[in-house]
């Protein structure tokens, strides 16, 4: 059972997407409808971050921190993918609405002005013909 959650989110900016993902994880952790055993996944990643035991020791600058970050991101992604899709969709919509986004494309609702236009050269050509 694969979900299309990653297809629902359009490119709204890298950092904004990271903030939305973190907020989504916190919303799902607090939701009573999400099974308890799934809620353990992000905590396992956090415990690994604090643990002195690492796959790649933190002595190697960059690589040591990269494996910690990878475990956090992968744990969060697996958590979001295994959580019930209707709950994820509900929280994702609530987060987007609270940020001022109203549709699933991440585009703010705005006023659209429809009109016709012509360039100055075209206007001059029509008057001289």
pLDDT digits (tens, 9 = 90+) for 72-119: 888 999 999 999 999 999 999 998 888 766 554 445 555 667 778 777
- Cα 12 to Cα 107: distance, rounded to the nearest angstrom: 8
Say which DSSP state 105 is in.
T
Say which DSSP state 12 is in.
-
Q: Which of these, 21, 42, 15, lies nearest to 88 by C-alpha position?
A: 21
Q: For the segment 6-62, what is each residue's pLDDT rounded down to a tens digit?
A: 544 455 577 888 888 899 999 999 999 999 999 999 888 888 888 877 777 767 677
Say which DSSP state 125 is in.
H
């Amino acid at each position: 059972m694969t979900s299309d959650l990653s297809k629902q989110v359009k490119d709204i900016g890298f950092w904004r997407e990271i903030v939305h993902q973190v907020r989504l994880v916190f919303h799902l952790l607090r939701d009573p409808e999400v099974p308890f055993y799934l809620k353990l996944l992000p905590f396992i990643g956090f415990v690994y971050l604090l643990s002195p035991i690492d796959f790649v020791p933190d002595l190697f600058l960059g690589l040591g921190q990269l494996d910690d970050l990878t475990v956090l991101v992968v744990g969060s992604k697996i958590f979001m993918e295994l959580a019930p899709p209707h709950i994820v969709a509900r929280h994702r919509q609530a987060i987007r609405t609270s940020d001022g986004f109203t549709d699933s494309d991440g585009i703010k609702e705005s006023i659209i002005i429809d009109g016709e236009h012509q360039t100055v050269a075209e206007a001059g050509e029509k008057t001289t013909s």
